[in-house]
A and B are shown apart, each in its own frame.
Chain A
């Protein structure tokens, strides 16, 4: 029987099943798919997990071995505990060993996590605000409580960027400026809403993971693209239903009849005349001033960006749609006998195309990245020879996390990193009246590597001594999108 020609032998376990095509082995997990041994999705298990509301992890990938204790009673998913630095306290002066140097075993490798809360004088936040509304000129001061706490930096795709904090605002200005900056950073990092006023620009309420509120109006959506891109995306859906379309955008306003997309479809000229500077056919810059109305301009009435229609080309009853890049603003016009646009109700046939623009826009959010430099004296709490820690981070032997969240370590000197505050547990940040921010930081590395970089090996204590004997430890569920800090460190080793 076992010599069945088309059966394959599964060597995933010592049962060594012979599996016929289209069937599974005795485990129901491995199957013969067209002569190949494949691992199947355990969908039943998955469905049940979903029914229970369990977080779903890739099959077998995250299953970790159990260490024989029940320390993570009901909180930490999938069998292991990682101690974050939140609430660990700090040591001062820094050359004293970090408050917790913890050993835990991962896949048989002794791992050390050095946990401390760093006092960061060099720190700040980068804020990305998904909106096309004009927030203020580049380099303008951003104020909180009347004090300059940062500035408007370069615009990015669909977003306005703010750079807040930094050592100059924290320590370089007046006492009140430092306090206001520290307060702003602390609230933003802890996920609270902060009201900011931009010199010569808007008043904006920023909160990590929430839509921005610009001058009292909550932003709903990021734009689908620039005005010209919007023409390109929807030209076909408009063709035949309307004679011309203007997509109003502070950066690049698009006109269907002149745009390459319209030309290719054979849309006839309409004699429309746009104000602003023509870049290429159907694409206009600076049709209005930047603002918080239509498409990030200051216009409330879209007709103000149009000149007179060319009487030689336009015709009475010509149908014109004007729409913003989010679909949030739209108006429909028909030309009267004098070729003047008269607003009419949006025809049925165009409602869908406007809705389509809206549904292609992603939700607008504020996102906050904490940026801090741990290259200084904090390292002395980890090792007697601080530069070795820096080298170890560079060589990817030591993994840095911030409240368990992954960080991007900026290339070059020092340990300057960025981390998404929304991936950290709540209230992960604190402050000292210096003023400076207190942020969690964890260094995870192999015990042997820790010893070789001059670590405080005699202060290393097992995880169980932290996690079992003291109810002051709060256990939180790991953020589902974060890689497991210990896992990543060992995986790196194996390569």
Chain B
């Protein structure tokens, strides 16, 4: 078991959680069950140490807390439902609640972002940092003090990481959360987007919004799309017998444009409601950017999207 992770919390620690510094000696790796976090804080060394201790001691109980309320968190979110007890669970419900009235969504849609947010909150409560991030498999919570920035790389296909573009988040921006969703990712998707990356004020909000937008990039009834009931793949999936995307054949350009337009419409609606700050939608090499113009944290379009005139 961990030797010293905030001595007072020792009793509550579980024996699965792994807490270690990565071999670069800078980043903290927190792992427990399906949760895998990369944490990095910047600032004076004592502050970074304090932040990492706070992250570790908060982390060790998170999975058990979530599992205690797992059946509730896997159920569709309905307005006026009773709220869960756990702090992470409450962040999840808060993030998906805006969609509950009109969409099928469970709090699990925001679990990754909510965990990242919770760990980051524990860190900044205990330490004075210049900046910090908690990256939960691509769903990232950020903290920035004055004049600090983060450059975030985006990928087109989560299974084949290559940089689609980068976006710079500045302390003056409201953005503190980044999330990506798509059918190729770790979680099931009802849509066909390869990846939808969302910048929002909080990580859990970004996570939920990315799920909603990725689901909206869709072509119902298109024969190129293979869908399988989620429960056939994972019997205890929160998506039940809803059909999740397992393969997408090559799409005709007009279909592709239609699917992206559908997703972009949803993204613009969320933008107007103040739920997101910007979004990048990508499907078979085509990309749409929403909200980039007014936000100073812009998502830079890759060169080829501007047209390769020199080729």
Q: CB within 8 Å of B: which residues of A? A: 1-4, 7, 12-20, 23, 25-28, 54-55, 60, 63-70, 72-79, 105-108
Asked if B25 contacts A65 (CB within 8 A), the reply is: no
- Name the one of A13, A72, A106, A107 contacting B33, with C-beta atoms under 8 angstroms: A13
CA of A105 to CA of B233 in the docked complex: distance in angstroms? 43
B23 within 8 A of A: yes
Binary flags per residue of B7-34, CB closer than 8 Å to A gives 1, else 0: 0000000001011110111101001111
List 17 other contacts, CB 8 Å, given A14-B67, A70-B52, A72-B25. A1-B236, A1-B241, A7-B235, A12-B16, A13-B63, A14-B64, A15-B63, A17-B234, A18-B234, A18-B236, A20-B233, A26-B33, A26-B34, A67-B2, A69-B49, A78-B23, A105-B3
Nearest residue in B to A18 (C-beta to C-beta)?
B235
B70 within 8 A of A: yes
Contacts A65-B2, A78-B23, A79-B20 given; indicate if A15 touches B34 (C-beta within 8 A).
yes
Residues of A within 8 A of B33 (CB): 12-15, 26-27
CA of A76 to CA of B23 in the docked complex: distance in angstroms? 7
- Name the one of B26, B34, B186 contacting A13, with C-beta atoms under 8 angstroms: B34
Asked if B1 contacts A107 (CB within 8 A), the reply is: yes
Nearest residue in A to B64 (C-beta to C-beta)?
A14
Binary flags per residue of B42-54, CB closer than 8 Å to A gives 1, else 0: 0001001100110
Asked if A64 contacts B235 (CB within 8 A), the reply is: no
CA of A69 to CA of B52 in the docked complex: distance in angstroms? 8
- Name the one of B26, B70, B234 contacting A20, with C-beta atoms under 8 angstroms: B234
Q: List 8 A-B contacts (CB under 8 A).
A: A4-B235, A13-B63, A15-B67, A67-B2, A67-B3, A68-B4, A105-B3, A107-B1
Nearest residue in A to B240 (C-beta to C-beta)?
A1
Residues of B within 8 A of A13 (CB): 16, 32-34, 63, 67
Asked if A65 contacts B3 (CB within 8 A), the reply is: yes
- Name the one of A19, A20, A68, A73 contacting B53, with C-beta atoms under 8 angstroms: A68
Give the total number of A-B pairs whose CB atoms are below 8 A apart.
114
B231 within 8 A of A: yes
Residues of A within 8 A of B6 (CB): 68
Residues of B within 8 A of A54 (CB): 23
CA of A144 to CA of B20 in the docked complex: distance in angstroms? 49
Residues of B within 8 A of A75 (CB): 25
Contacts A15-B34, A26-B34, A72-B25 given; indicate if A65 touches B236 (C-beta within 8 A).
no
Nearest residue in B to A67 (C-beta to C-beta)?
B3
Nearest residue in A to B1 (C-beta to C-beta)?
A108
CA of A67 to CA of B10 in the docked complex: distance in angstroms? 12
Nearest residue in A to B16 (C-beta to C-beta)?
A13
Q: Give the interface size class of chain B.
A: 35 or more
* Least distance between B146 CB and chain A CB atoms (Å): 24
Residues of A within 8 A of B231 (CB): 1, 4
CA of A77 to CA of B64 in the docked complex: distance in angstroms? 29
B232 within 8 A of A: yes
CA of A18 to CA of B236 in the docked complex: distance in angstroms? 6
Asked if A73 contacts B25 (CB within 8 A), the reply is: yes
Asked if A2 contacts B20 (CB within 8 A), the reply is: no
Asked if A105 contacts B4 (CB within 8 A), the reply is: yes
Residues of B within 8 A of A77 (CB): 23
B56 within 8 A of A: yes
Residues of B within 8 A of A67 (CB): 2-4
Contacts A20-B232, A68-B53 given; indicate if A74 touches B26 (C-beta within 8 A).
yes
CA of A27 to CA of B240 in the docked complex: distance in angstroms? 19
Residues of A within 8 A of B70 (CB): 15
CA of A7 to CA of B24 in the docked complex: distance in angstroms? 40
Contacts A13-B34, A14-B64 given; indicate if A70 touches B234 (C-beta within 8 A).
no
CA of A73 to CA of B31 in the docked complex: distance in angstroms? 20
Residues of A within 8 A of B16 (CB): 12-13
Nearest residue in A to B5 (C-beta to C-beta)?
A68
Binary flags per residue of B225-250, CB closer than 8 Å to A gives 1, else 0: 00000011111100011000000000
CA of A180 to CA of B191 in the docked complex: distance in angstroms? 78
- Considering residues B2, B70, B235, B240, which has the most beta carbons from chain A within 10 angstroms of its beta carbon? B235
- Considering residues B26, B33, B36, B241, which has the most beta carbons from chain A within 10 angstroms of its beta carbon? B33
* Least distance between B108 CB and chain A CB atoms (Å): 9
CA of A55 to CA of B22 in the docked complex: distance in angstroms? 11
Asked if A2 contacts B236 (CB within 8 A), the reply is: yes
Asked if A108 contacts B233 (CB within 8 A), the reply is: no
Asked if B34 contacts A27 (CB within 8 A), the reply is: yes
Nearest residue in A to B46 (C-beta to C-beta)?
A70
CA of A12 to CA of B18 in the docked complex: distance in angstroms? 13
Q: Nearest 6 A-B pairs (CB), nearest first?
A: A13-B33, A74-B25, A27-B34, A65-B2, A105-B3, A14-B67
Asked if A68 contacts B56 (CB within 8 A), the reply is: yes
* Least distance between B129 CB and chain A CB atoms (Å): 14
Asked if A19 contacts B2 (CB within 8 A), the reply is: no
Asked if A64 contacts B67 (CB within 8 A), the reply is: no
* Least distance between B250 CB and chain A CB atoms (Å): 25
Asked if A108 contacts B234 (CB within 8 A), the reply is: no
Residues of B within 8 A of A2 (CB): 235-236
Residues of A within 8 A of B52 (CB): 66, 68, 70
- Name the one of A17, A19, A68, A107 contacting B49, with C-beta atoms under 8 angstroms: A68
Asked if B34 contacts A65 (CB within 8 A), the reply is: no
Residues of B within 8 A of A18 (CB): 234-236
- Name the one of B3, B24, B233 contacting A68, with C-beta atoms under 8 angstroms: B3
* Least distance between B39 CB and chain A CB atoms (Å): 11
Asked if B233 contacts A25 (CB within 8 A), the reply is: no
Asked if A55 contacts B23 (CB within 8 A), the reply is: yes
Asked if B19 contacts A70 (CB within 8 A), the reply is: no
Asked if B26 contacts A66 (CB within 8 A), the reply is: no
Residues of B within 8 A of A73 (CB): 25-26
Residues of B within 8 A of A78 (CB): 20, 23
CA of A2 to CA of B240 in the docked complex: distance in angstroms? 10
Within 253-309 of B, Cβ neighbours of A (below 8 Å) are at none
Residues of B within 8 A of A1 (CB): 231, 235-236, 240-241
Contacts A14-B67, A70-B48 given; indicate if A25 touches B34 (C-beta within 8 A).
yes
Asked if A64 contacts B56 (CB within 8 A), the reply is: no
